[in-house]
């Protein structure tokens, strides 16, 4: 069976700089239709970067609530077809039976988290509250965000993909996953943690995108109590993070960050009140 497409492709665009035309080499990210099938029936199709597909299969299944643990996937086959890639999974029982009770049809555009949802209630499920929390020194979180760029291998090539990463006090910046879709990157990260037996509650999720509500929901499903990103959250994301007990940190840049919910977990030394 053929291998999946490479995650980046060499292109030779014509360039106009305002005065003259030229040709230059540029790496651009690949985008492929990825189908998630269970018991040989398609559950969802997402447009994604064809890398870390084992992680994508496990993480998507966990974040969608299809399984509760990676071990509930009995078999996983990556099938490369002319139209895209199929992630063919067989589930243990009773997960297989439960899946079709809640089955929905969904076809997503790049990184789409809600396409095909059939009701408003399904679009905004109540995420599980986090049950374990950690405290992070503010300088450590800032250093982790600053180190993320150097670990984005695909983005250094293409300047066109998102990243989701996991940082913990014990391991530092341990896992980084990239994709053209920010939701896909987080699913891949969830799968990587689950496949390696790492509890998301032991660290923080770091993102290179804005924080939408779907990313907060996925973080809650993972069990992480801290999520930080370089851009702003939406108002709905803030409300959902507050309700789920998640510390939401946005606008994390080289000069600092802003904490929108549950700030007590970020340990800051106030120079005004310091002894």
**Burial per residue of 18-41, b for 16 or more beta-carbon CB atoms within 10 angstroms, e otherwise:** eeeeeeeeebebbbbbbbbbbeee
Q: Is the pLDDT of residue 114 over 80?
A: no
Q: Looking at the predicted structure, is the pLDDT value of residue 105 above 50?
A: no
In this predicted structure, the answer to whether residue 116 has a pLDDT above a threshold of 70 is no
Averaged pLDDT for residues 100-104 = 61
Degrees, nearest 5: CA angle 203-206-207: 160
Residue 123's nearest CA partner among 98, 95, 142, 104 is: 104
Confidence of residue 144 (pLDDT cuts 50, 70, 90): very high
Chain centroid to CA 74: 23
- Residue with the larger pLDDT of the pair 26 and 121: 26
- The pLDDT of residue 108 is above 50: no
d(CA 51, CA 56): 8
Is pLDDT at 46 greater than 50 in this prediction? yes
Mean pLDDT of the chain: 90
pLDDT, one tens digit per residue, over 57-85 is: 999 999 999 999 999 999 999 999 999 99
The rounded distance, in Å, linking the Cα atoms of 244 and 246 is 6
12, 51, 113, 218, 239 from 130: Cα distances, Å: 48, 29, 21, 12, 15
| pLDDT reported for residue 274 | 38
User: So what's the pLDDT on residue 177?
Assistant: 98
Distance CA 86, CA 33 (A): 8
**For residue 248, pLDDT beyond 50:** yes
Report the catalytic residues.
Answer: 112
Three-state DSSP class for residue 83: coil
Q: Quote the CA–CA distance of 182 and 168 in Å, as a whole number.
A: 21
How confident is the model at residue 131, as a pLDDT? 87
Confidence bin at 106 (pLDDT 50/70/90): very low
Domains of the chain: 32-122 (3.10.20.10), 136-267 (3.40.140.10)
Is residue 98 a contact partner of residue 39, using CB atoms and an 8 Å limit? no
């Amino acid at each position: 069976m053929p291998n999946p497409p490479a995650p980046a492709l060499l292109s030779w665009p014509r360039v106009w700089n305002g005065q003259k035309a030229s040709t230059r080499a540029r790496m651009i990210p690949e985008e492929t239709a990825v189908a998630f099938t269970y018991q040989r029936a398609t559950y969802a199709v997402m447009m994604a970067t064809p890398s870390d597909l084992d992680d994508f299969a496990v993480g998507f299944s966990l974040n969608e609530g299809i399984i509760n643990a990676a071990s509930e996937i009995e078999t996983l086959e990556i099938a490369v077809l002319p139209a895209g890639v199929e992630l063919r999974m067989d589930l243990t029982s009773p997960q297989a039976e439960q899946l079709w009770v809640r089955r929905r049809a969904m076809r997503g555009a790049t990184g789409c988290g809600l396409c095909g949802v059939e009701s408003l209630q399904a679009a905004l499920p109540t995420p599980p509250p986090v049950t374990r929390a950690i405290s992070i020194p503010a300088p450590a979180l800032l250093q982790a965000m600053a180190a993320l760029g150097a670990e984005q291998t695909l983005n250094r090539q293409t300047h066109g993909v998102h990243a989701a990463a996991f940082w913990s006090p014990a391991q530092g910046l341990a896992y980084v996953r990239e994709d053209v879709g920010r939701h896909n990157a987080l699913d891949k990260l969830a799968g990587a943690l689950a496949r390696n037996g790492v509890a998301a509650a032991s660290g923080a999720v770091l993102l290179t995108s804005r924080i939408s509500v779907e990313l907060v929901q996925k973080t809650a499903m993972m069990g992480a109590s801290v999520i930080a990103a370089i851009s702003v959250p939406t108002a709905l994301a803030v409300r959902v993070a507050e309700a789920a007990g998640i510390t939401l940190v946005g606008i994390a840049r080289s000069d600092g960050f802003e904490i929108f919910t549950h700030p007590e977990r970020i340990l800051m030394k106030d120079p005004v009140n310091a002894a």
